[in-house]
Amino acid sequence: MADVIQMNYMLIPVIYRFGINLGFGDKTVKEICDETEVDLNFFLQLVNTYHDKDYFPKEELQTIPSKNIVAYLKMTHSSYLNEKLSEIEGLIEALQHAEAEDEKYILLIRNFFEGYKNELTEHIMHEEELVFPYVLAVEEICKTGMVSARNRQLYESFSIVEYQDGHDDVEEKLMDLKTIMIKYLTPPSNTNLYHKIIQLLFMLEQDLNYHSRIEDKVLIPKMILMEKTVAELI
């Protein structure tokens, strides 16, 4: 496992989302997965997906229960909301305090980031409150072949196609923010902090890309298949 992290430090937050903490000595990936009750197959697929952007094992990931995928996506969501966003926000605030002259521009950036944050939060809430319960309900129907009243209601309330359509690019604003900071702003005197913010934005963007790739390429195709099964059942 230590080799995995040495190879790509971007995986530190990823393994943490699985509940794996650093300080694992020379234990292998399998040993740690067994200890923390993480599905080894799922873990490997996901880590490889993150590490190598051309590696995308759609078929293997398709066989993993949606429950696990949803659980993982939820963990990433909470890490965005509770850590990443507030970290960047904090830095922008610090920048604002440190600067006297350019304050006006930093306020602009801050407002812009706030707007982005709200949009992302809304998107995440929508997924957690509507999409994920729906996914779980459909999977339960498929697995048991029974349609409980609650699941039926959930099934009829939504369709994954709707999600696909509404799954618009929340990353657009993030890209704009980066572009503005790189191309159009004169950096404030505290360049160190300024650079750090930009680097964090890049990392957040990368992480979000992987995240939405799993949603778009794994969860949605899987749901489309399951919806067909359910439609036949009902």
Partner 1 sequence: MDNITIVVAEASCLIQKGLVALLKNLDGTQVIQKLDKAEGLFESLSTLKPNILILNPDLFDGNADLINQSCAKLEACKLVIISNEKEVENKYSADAYIHYSDRQDKIMDCFESLKEDLDKKYKKEKSDDTISAREKNILKHIALGLTNKEIADQLFISIHTVVTHRKNITQKLGIKSVSGLTVYAILNNLISMDEVK
Q: Among residues 3 and 104, whose Cβ is nearest to partner 1?
A: 104
How large is the angle between the packed helices 191-214 and 171-179, nearest 10 degrees? 150
Least Å from the CB of residue 161 to partner 1: 22
* Per-residue contact flags (x/-) with partner 1 for residues 159 to 178, judged by CB under 8 A: -------------xx-xxx-
16 binds partner 1 (CB under 8 A): no
Q: Among residues 82 and 179, whose Cβ is nearest to partner 1?
A: 179
Q: Taking phi first (over 0 means left), then psi (-120 to 50 degrees means alpha), and beta for anything else, what does residue 216 get?
A: alpha
104 binds partner 1 (CB under 8 A): yes
Among 62-70, 81-89, 102-110, 221-229, the segment contacting partner 1 (CB under 8 A): 102-110
Nearest alpha-carbon partner for 158 in 125, 121, 133: 133
Among 14-22, 43-51, 103-111, 150-158, the segment contacting partner 1 (CB under 8 A): 103-111
Other C-beta atoms lying within 10 Å of the C-beta of residue 37:
8
Residues 106-165 that bind partner 1 (CB under 8 A): 108-109, 112, 115
Residues 58 and 61: their CA atoms lie apart, in Å, by: 5
Candidate residues 27, 30, 53, 150; the one interacting with partner 1 per rule CB under 8 A: 53
**Long-range Cβ contact pairs of 165-173 (< 8 A, separation 24 or more):** 166/126, 167/212, 167/215, 167/216, 167/220, 170/119, 170/120, 170/123, 170/208, 171/205, 171/208, 171/209, 171/212, 173/112, 173/115, 173/116, 173/119
Q: Among residues 70 and 188, whose Cβ is nearest to partner 1?
A: 188
Q: Among residues 31 and 176, whose Cβ is nearest to partner 1?
A: 176
CA 115, 200, 177, 51 dihedral sign is negative
Size of the site for partner 1 (CB under 8 A): 19
Q: Is 89 exposed, middle or buried (0-12, 13-18, 19+ CB in 10 A)?
A: middle
Q: Among residues 21 and 206, whose Cβ is nearest to partner 1?
A: 206
Candidate residues 11, 71, 136, 185; the one interacting with partner 1 per rule CB under 8 A: 185
Q: Among residues 104 and 146, whose Cβ is nearest to partner 1?
A: 104
Q: Interface residues with partner 1 (CB under 8 A)? A: 53-54, 56, 104-105, 108-109, 112, 115, 172-173, 175-177, 179-180, 183-185
